[in-house]
Structure 1
Amino acid sequence: MDIQLAVQAFVTLLVIMSPLGNVPVFLALTEGEGVRARRRTAAHALLAAAGLIYLFAFFGTRILAALSIGLPALQASGGVVLFLVALQMLRGDALVPTRAEGVSVAVVPLGVPILAGPGAISAVMVFMTSGDGGQLELMTQVSVALAIAAVLAVIWVVLRYAGAVERLLRPNGIHLVTRVMGMLLVAISIELVATAVQAYAAGASALP
């Protein structure tokens, strides 16, 4: 078990998926539903997000290989996506996404892309890939998988008691937490891009 990697993955995904920041959006999308209906919606959203995240966590590298995309490209693109998400969090953008016609709100937009968005997908693929772009050892993959499960568990608890959380923190408290997470996400995104640039520079210097 790689405890350090598991903690890093847990903190990064928790910041990206921002359960507290998504409380107002969840309540707006489930407005008019009873407590049981909201909890059922939260459970279905978590299942949809978990399925997509674990799919890319375990098979993302094969998808990249099929498309001839290297790890530095993934890190750079993931960093850019996370930076854009961080800017939204810092600005306090809380626009409620449009419901998809004929699709359960638990799947779209709650499960995807609010919870399992491009930022979260990019992050889990980076964590599941070794420094040379290959697959991690089995126990290291298990560490990341458990970190993902822990983040999903936190999100489930927050969404299950979303009404109580909003009353406890109030809008100002939620906005404050969202902005703090946005600042942390900026640092994470810059680190990803810097690592990708270093990898590209090292590869260029190694060429004859």
Structure 2
Amino acid sequence: MNIKLFGEVFVTLLVITDPPGMVPIFLALTGAMSARDRNRAAFNAVALALGVIAVFAVGGRTILEYLHIDLPALQGAGGLLLVLVALELLTGKADNPDQMNTSNVALVPLGTPLLAGPGAIVATMLFVQRSSSGSDYLAIGVAIVAVMVAVYLVLRYSGFLVRLLKPSGIEVLTRIAGLLLAAIAVQLMADAVGAFVEKYAQSH
């Protein structure tokens, strides 16, 4: 196995997925759930993210070419999804546990576009494109799994913060997480617009 490539992929994806940065958003979305539901949401989110990244690693370029989708369009779509979730968190509509479905929260926005977002997808596709041997592909695969295990452990053991913060603390955290999500969404859309402008400026 190519250890150097493993290190590169692991560090790159760990920085992009940013497990510590995910904790406030994860707690804001799952704070009202029971510990069991919260753990299930963490597992489902990581499993989905792993599946999405694996699919794009294997056939990402083919999928995007077949659908005539540019990477910036994927970024913009991710940004729009996050805006919707951020608005829910900021307005308090996501506070009611009856409205929150464990699987829904785990799939969107946790699994995608937060964990398996445009950044992680594009980085993985570039690593695969650069690789040429079986040991390279093995290194990339193991690194992706290792990152997802690390993310799961961080989310899985973030539950003690819920006990520490109490409901009032969770509510404050929810508003802050909403603001952070909105900022991430705006950045994603700004990057997408910038990439489109650059692309069309080069073609004319």
| Paired AA for residue 156 in structure 1 | R
| Paired AA for residue 93 in structure 2 | L
| Paired AA for residue 190 in structure 1 | A
Matched residue SS, 1:116: helix
Contact conserved, 1:20 with 1:178, CA < 8 A, in 2?
A: no
Once the two structures are overlaid, the 10-residue window that deviates more, 47-56 or 90-99, is 90-99
Give 1:82-97 correspondences, 5 Å limit: 82-86=79-83, 88-89=85-86, 92-96=90-94
Question: Would you say how many aligned residue pairs link Structure 1 and Structure 2?
Answer: 189
Deviation at 1:49, TM superposition (A): 1.8
Confirm whether residue 179 of structure 1 aligns to residue 176 of structure 2: no
Structure 1 residues 66 and 178: CA distance shift in structure 2, 3 A? closer
1:141-181 alpha-carbon deviations (Å, 9 max, x no partner)? 54444333322322222246423244694533553354245
Deviation at 1:81, TM superposition (A): 2.0
What's the TM-score, normalizing by structure 2? Answer: 0.65
Distance 2:149 2:193 in 1: 26
Query: 1:109 maps to which residue?
Result: 104
What's the TM-score, normalizing by structure 1? Answer: 0.64
| Paired AA for residue 74 in structure 1 | L
Deviation at 1:8, TM superposition (A): 4.5
What 5-or-longer segments of structure 1 have no aligned partner? 31-37
Query: 1:156 maps to which residue?
Result: 156
Distance 2:116 2:186 in 1: 17
Query: 1:76 maps to which residue?
Result: 73
Of residues 18, 25, 28 in structure 2, which corresponds to 1:14?
Answer: 18
| Paired AA for residue 51 in structure 1 | A
Identity %: 14
Query: 1:127 maps to which residue?
Result: 123
Deviation at 1:52, TM superposition (A): 1.6
Matched residue SS, 1:95: coil
Query: 1:53 maps to which residue?
Result: 49
Matched residue SS, 2:50: helix
Structure 1 residues 82 and 119: CA distance shift in structure 2, 3 A? farther
